[in-house]
Structure 1
């Protein structure tokens, strides 16, 4: 168990973190390349302003994944449960979610390219304009239709 681990500004290359249990993992402004985090329970995973390249998170439970302002390339989240996912101001390319669930996702100011959200089940969305460049399923588009309409200033009435 790691309490209040601080990896801010660290460079982690070709690392595997498995079964980490931590209330917080601070790695803001860090660089993660070829990293894997597996079967971990982390309260707050702070990766703001971080460079993530070829990173995989598998089977993790996270209360808050802070990717605000992060630069993500070739990142996969698989079988993860998140309470809150913050992608605000993030620059993300080739990111995918596989069998993941997030209660709240923030996209405010995000820049996305080839981001596959089809494997992400979510409740509330914020900053829908930042979703440009994402791929969603028909079911997701239908579920989020009112949010999309509100963003465009369209009133939906039955």
Structure 2
């Protein structure tokens, strides 16, 4: 059951459940390329260059990906389960309609990740920087963004439930048509919204954030602020 935290108005905020990933002893992956619909179980991808490879529909179970290169890697509709990714880097990684469940993504350096329509459940994204993360139409449940930098993340049309932002920077986020349920934004500094400020219902923000967002909120309501 999700933990509950109090908010300033006394209502309960359901906290995100974190993944509990305990990897078994792993076998080295080796030098082979990814295969579409491949099955990867209990493998250690250590510094593996996966750039340009096609692992669409593959399943990764109890795996560790450390320092891997993911430039233009296709993991579309892949399933990443009980898996830890550390220090991965790349541009244009395709995770469209993928499933990430009980996953830890730490210290990533990624740009232009396509994760539209993806399902993220019990996921922690810790440290690192992700530019232009496309999560349009995705479903996020029990997801924590912690100590990371998100530049222009796109949550358009996504559903976020029990999602928390802790000690991270969110710049130019798009919440257009998104649905937020028990979303804790208080740990985001700065919190910058490019679009979708009207979708903040269901989120919790701090007093400081409210003041920072006042110009955007006023513009959304058509309120003119004059000296």
TM-score in terms of structure 2 length: 0.67
The answer on whether the counterparts of 2:125 and 2:146 sit within 8 Å (CA) in structure 1 is yes
Alignment of 1:62 with 2:130, yes or no, is yes
- How many angstroms does 1:156 deviate by? 1.2
Quote the Cα distance in structure 2 between the aligned partners of 1:11 and 1:21.
19
Q: Deviations over 1:73-121 (max 9, x none)?
A: 0000001112211111011100000111122011100000010111112
Return the alpha-carbon distance in structure 2 between the equivalents of residues 80 and 8 of structure 1.
Answer: 24
SS in 1 for 2:222: coil
After TM superposition, give the deviation of residue 137 of structure 1 in Å: 0.5
Is it true that 1:34 corresponds to 2:34 in the alignment? no
Does the alignment pair 1:150 with 2:219?
Answer: yes
Note the residue ranges of structure 1 that are not aligned, 5 or more in a row.
none
Q: CA deviation at 1:125?
A: 2.8
Does 2:77 correspond to 1:9? Answer: yes
Aligned to 1:130: 199
RMSD: 1.1
Correspondence 1:92 to 2:133: no
Deviations 1:49-69 (A, max 9, x none): 111100110012111111111
Paired residue total: 158
For structure 2, the 5+ residue unaligned runs are 1-68
Moved more, 137-146 or 123-132: 123-132
Distance in 1, Cα, partners of 2:97 & 2:111: 19
TM-score of the aligned structures, taking structure 1 as reference length: 0.95
Q: Which has the higher contact order (CA 8 A, sep 6+)?
A: 1
Deviation at 1:44, TM superposition (A): 1.7
- Bigger share in strand: 1
Could you say what secondary structure the match of 1:149 adopts?
helix
